[in-house]
Amino acid sequence: MGATPTVRGTGRAPDAHEAALQVDPALEAFVRDELLLGLDDLDPDTFWATFAALNRLFQRRTAELLARRDDLQRQVDGWHAAHPGPLDEAGRDEYAGFLTDIGYLVPEAEPRLTVTGVDTEIAELAGPQLVVPSTVPRYALNAANARWGSLFDALYGTDVLPLDHELAKGYDEARGAQVIAEADRLLDELFPLADGSHADVGAYTVTDGSLAPALADPAQFAGHRGDAASPTAVLLRRNGLHVELTIDPESRVGRGHHAGVADVVCESAVTTIVDLEDSVSTVDGEDKANAYRTWLGLMNGNLVSSFEKGGQTVTRRAEPDREHTAPDGSTATLPGRSTLLVRVVGHHMRTDAVRTADGEPVGEGLLDLFVAVTAALHDLRDLGAHRNSRTGSVYVVKPKQHGPEEVALTVDMFAAVEEALGLPGCTVKIGVMDEEKRTSVNLSACVAAASDRIIFVNTGFLDRTGDEIHTCFAGGPVVPKGDMKSQTWFGAYEDRNVDVALRAGFGGTAQVGKGMWAKPAAMREMLETKIEQPRAGADCAWVPSPTAATLHALHYLRVDVGARQDELASRPLTDRSLLLAPPLLGGDRPSAETVRHELETNAQSILGYVVRWVDLGVGCSTVPDLDGVGLMEDRATLRISCQLLANWLAHGIVDEQTVRETFARLAAFVDEQNEGEPGYRPMTADLDASPSFQAALELVFTGREEPNGYTEPILTAWRRTAKKAAAQGR
């Protein structure tokens, strides 16, 4: 890259006014001392001048598209106000005609993917996907290393297997035997022997490239480690995923195993999204620098995290690749880490971590993109300890897009960043979150707008529900949150996402994703139900932890997703008019008990999440519900809860006084749940002065007016208030 960047499309250098930026000192130092270290062709002045030119290039177009969102919503509000209540088939047809007339609904497209250079983990492998906040390096390393996970640990330490006694300290022999028996059962199911059961095996050996005892399908044997006559590991493969039997008869576990197996290690989190968006609380330059530092450390391999565990200091870093001897005697190398994507913020976000010469905050999503791709140069140029993309690609997930025009804006941003950094076209691939209604109903056109770089579409039920409520807000009160999944639009949304993707050629080229399992401790329930996602044709789905990834991997070992996609590709395309059925109550009104339960449930979850976001700067956490069941909460879950209460408030299902009284009562309950949390400040010490409590109320009382019902602006303002107060010692 030259020393003088040009404004894309003009060939001219930015003038001094364009190039001048006001950059937060912490962010400026990060860029100068860390991000650009080793990138000899890119100095800080050039970096910031280039970004200034990019920001200027896209700021007006972005503002116009955001204004278009607001204008469309005003027109939709008017239509729903004139046509209140649920819509029958005729009503949906009339609604579709109206949406077409105003440009909300665009003609169906017939896209075909032309994307190339996609890593195998995204293009071909079906498996679990993690999403991890970029603000916690330890968690990010855990997620990156979750490419391989211990099945023994996952079975031993969760509720998957029943437990009828209190576990002994250290290693519980009875629990261990239970785990070994279940592992044998799973091996018999997934990797059956030609004769007998894995439970009867006394030793695994390798002879002339074949496993003994023999597998029913010899092709499932993928290799071994150590001496063939007494291997230290046996590698198996099914549906593209690997399972390793780690053998150590002298280990604590191996001593009690009939074949000396110390662990069954599953290939688990095939891909991971490092998140700069919904799961983080980043409100200033210092926060942004910390978040970017994690992504950079993963790209250059320098990320290290040390922490205390069991009275000892544990240091964690990215795992190396894994080597085995293949059946033909060659060396088989498997990636030791999850393939990483990065999720940036949406077009609607701006940040004053960087300001223009006129003092205007810059586009935060564009800043995220430019920094993230610059960090990935360390990987693309093979400057780091490990490679993330072996095909020379950078994977960026873009959320909160509304329709094909906004996807086209993102594509142009990607192309401009590539040009600015001297990268080949389509180096930066896009993952599209199908989480806004205008994207769902126009998904084929959205895919068409990015057909040469799209590698991912993902359904996000919670954000999608929040936008669903906001879109039909004027039509009347919506159904309770727990009833949303039984609504017409929901099933159509989940099916149509797969239909559009498969028709566009995603199979074997790009990921079709499904949403998060929100109960981190309920692994037995997850095992029983989440298999429906690969059966639905999804080759990745989100899980809340590395342990959950290992257990969810069992679903992909059971289901051949590629074969399932081939079956689904021929089914009729789901009628998109079904997506237009609003989830409204109509003339029905919920009972007093239903109203009370809904109000209390949502108030408690809002307060439980907001108090951690605002007071502690935690963007994603497990929040216990009213019954003490831990639920994973992020801004998507917050959005739906706030929109539902705002909707019921606007339509008289609840009143302001009752809302305030309920929130005040539940604040004491949440304080109790968080007692002992380091740094926690009880809201009830002074509700009027509590930034968290006031933020929670504002999110509900202004939920109707907030563009698209997004929660970020209010959270950010109150988090800054809390940080300022903490800095002043109050």
For 184-195, what is the mean pLDDT?
98
pLDDT, one tens digit per residue, over 278-310 is 999 999 999 999 999 999 999 999 999 998 887
pLDDT of residue 13: 54
For this structure, is 634 an active site residue?
A: yes
DSSP letter (8 states) at residue 441: T
DSSP letter (8 states) at residue 709: G
CB 248 within 8 A of CB 260: yes
Number of neighbours of residue 599 by Cβ within 10 angstroms: 22
pLDDT of residue 314: 87
- Give the pLDDT band (50/70/90) at residue 20: confident
Bridge-based pairing state of the strands 621-624 and 339-343: unpaired
Residue carrying structure tokens 């389509």: 426
How far CA 592 is from CA of 589, 596, 599, 653, in Å, comes to: 9, 6, 11, 9
**Which DSSP string do the residues of 520-542 spell out, in sequence order?**
TT-HHHHHHHTTHHHHTT-SEEE
Residue in 713, 511, 543, 705 with CA at minimum distance from that of residue 74: 705
pLDDT of residue 19: 63
Residue carrying structure tokens 């509304």: 402
Can the peptide bond before residue 25 be classed as cis, meaning omega within 30 degrees of 0?
no
Q: Please state, in angstroms and rounded to a whole number, the distance separating the CA atoms of residues 246 and 171.
A: 18
Count CA atoms closer than 13 A to 114's CA, side-chain side.
9
Write out the H or E segment, with its range, that includes residue 693.
Answer: helix 691-701
Residues 6+ apart with CB under 8 A from 391: 117, 118, 119
CATH 3.20.20.360 domain range(s) in the chain: 1-128+268-303+336-586
Write out the H or E segment, with its range, that includes residue 632.
Answer: strand 630-633
CB 94 within 8 A of CB 402: no
Bridge partners (DSSP) listed for residue 264: 245
Q: Please state, in angstroms and rounded to a whole number, the distance separating the CA atoms of residues 522 and 516.
A: 13
For 7-34, what is the mean pLDDT?
75
Q: Whole-prediction pTM value?
A: 0.96
The CATH topology of domain 592-727 is Malate Synthase G; Chain: A; Domain 4 (1.20.1220)
Buried b (16+ CB within 10 A) or exposed e, 666-677: bbebbbebbeee
SS3 331: strand
pLDDT, one tens digit per residue, over 688-713 is 999 999 999 999 999 999 999 999 99
- Give the pLDDT band (50/70/90) at residue 617: very high
Looking at residue 630, its amino acid is G
Furthest CA-CA distance within the chain: 78
pLDDT, one tens digit per residue, over 450-474 is 999 999 999 988 899 999 999 999 9
CB 87 within 8 A of CB 582: yes
- Give the pLDDT band (50/70/90) at residue 437: very high
Would the pLDDT of 14 be above 80? no
pLDDT of residue 587: 86
The rounded mean pLDDT for the chain is: 95
pLDDT of residue 460: 87
Residue in 654, 674, 678, 676 with CA at minimum distance from that of residue 666: 674
pLDDT of residue 381: 97
Residues 6+ apart with CB under 8 A from 433: 397, 398, 399, 400, 401, 439, 457, 458, 460, 463
Catalytic residue among 499, 539, 634, 671: 634
How far CA 211 is from CA of 196, 374, 422, 486, in Å, comes to: 14, 46, 49, 48
Percent of the chain with pLDDT over 90: 91
Architecture of domain 150-266: Beta Complex (2.170)
Catalytic residue among 238, 337, 343, 350: 343
One-letter-per-residue 3-state SS of 215-280? ECCHHHEEEEEEECCEEEEEEEEECCEEEEEEECCCCCCHHHCCCCEEEEEEECCCEEEEECCCCC
- Give the pLDDT band (50/70/90) at residue 628: confident
pLDDT of residue 15: 57
CB 37 within 8 A of CB 44: no
SS3 422: coil
pLDDT, one tens digit per residue, over 39-89 is 999 999 999 999 999 999 999 999 999 999 999 999 999 999 999 999 999
For this structure, is 343 an active site residue?
A: yes
pLDDT, one tens digit per residue, over 102-146 is 999 999 999 999 999 999 999 999 999 999 999 999 999 999 999
Would the pLDDT of 567 be above 60? yes
pLDDT of residue 1: 37
For 316-339, what is the mean pLDDT?
97
DSSP letter (8 states) at residue 164: -
- Give the pLDDT band (50/70/90) at residue 730: low
SS3 661: helix
Looking at residue 40, its amino acid is D
CATH 1.20.1220.12 domain range(s) in the chain: 592-727
CATH 3.20.20.360 fits 1-128+268-303+336-586, yes or no: yes
CATH 2.170.170.11 domain range(s) in the chain: 150-266
